[in-house]
Amino acid sequence: MHPEQLHRTYLDLTTPHVADACMRLGIPVRWAPPGTVPLWSGTHVAGRIRPARHYGSVDVFLEAIERADPGDVLVVDNGGRHDEACVGDLVTLEVSRAGLAGILIWGLHRDTAELRSIRLPVFSQGALPVGPQRLDPRDPEALESARCGQHSVSAADFVLGDDDGALFIPLSRAGDVADVAATIRDTERSQTAKMHMGTTFRTQARLGEYLAARDTDPGITFRQHLRAFGGEIEE
């Protein structure tokens, strides 16, 4: 999917919509560790992943940017370290000027005020004023893949991030996931509108029918009940 098309397709979809869509489609749900959040609220980013593993020097980021296409998201693997910040204002400005859509760091950032003024979406586990004090041997695959928590990502994936965190989805399934996520979004919006008009969610979910059915068949689940009339909210 072209970067602009990917951005447009996912612009009105949230990470919860997409996580539920992945579960419904049987696609493994991969996420950035809890606490990997944007620097300001209201952030939304979607783009193909441009991975980079950090070993103590910013040159790996510059090489990743050189390889990237406009609309990509730089995903930085710093091993989740909390003893150094690996991305600051110069790298962020370089990423922004190259036309990338954002940065996601498995680790920490610094220069918070400057990053906010640049206004490029940046996701991080927090801020620390201390930069790297090491220079480790670099893996030959440093620009081919990256880890973020327990998950590995590459340019075959895209990242979707918002105030709830970030998800990693195969680019090959972007269209399928978006279609299902849009259905989930529209269902929830309809349910919310009805609640504001006075129809409780218990009524919409036909709770009485479910309780009666469960008395007859204790094996029936609430998800099965909702699925029978298109009221799914949990998957």
Specify the range with the lowest mean pLDDT, choosing from 18-32, 75-89, 188-202.
Answer: 188-202
* pLDDT tens figures, 175-222: 999 999 999 999 899 999 999 999 999 998 899 999 999 999 999 999
In this prediction the pTM is 0.91
pLDDT at 45 (0 to 100): 97
Give the domain extent around 219: 186-227
**Tokens representing residue 163 in the block:** 């105030």
Q: What is the mean pLDDT of residues 65-94?
A: 98
Cβ-based neighbours of 93, under 8 Å, separated by 6 or more: 118
Supply the pLDDT for residue 235. 53
Question: Residue 97 and residue 111: Cα distance in Å, rounded?
Answer: 17
- Are 13 and 93 within one domain? yes
Residue 15: which pLDDT band, with cuts at 50, 70 and 90? very high
14 and 68 inside one domain: yes
H runs (alpha helix) in the chain: 3-10, 15-25, 59-67, 89-97, 112-118, 174-196, 201-204, 207-216, 222-227
Question: What is the number of structural domains in the chain?
Answer: 2
- On whether both 55 and 160 belong to a single domain, the answer is yes
Does some domain include residue 216? yes
- Which pairs with CB-CB distance under 8 Å and at least 24 residues apart come from 191-200? 191/231, 191/233
Q: Which residues pair with 219 in a beta bridge?
A: none
Q: Are residues 45 and 92 in the same domain?
A: yes
Judge contact between 124 and 107, C-beta under 8 A.
yes
Q: What are the pLDDT digits (tens) for 158-174?
A: 999 999 999 999 999 99
Q: What is the rounded average pLDDT of the residues 145-162?
A: 98
Q: Is residue 167 domain-shared with residue 199, that is, in the same domain?
A: no
Q: Are residues 193 and 142 in the same domain?
A: no
Same domain for 148 and 99, yes or no, is yes
The answer to whether residue 234 sits within a structural domain is no
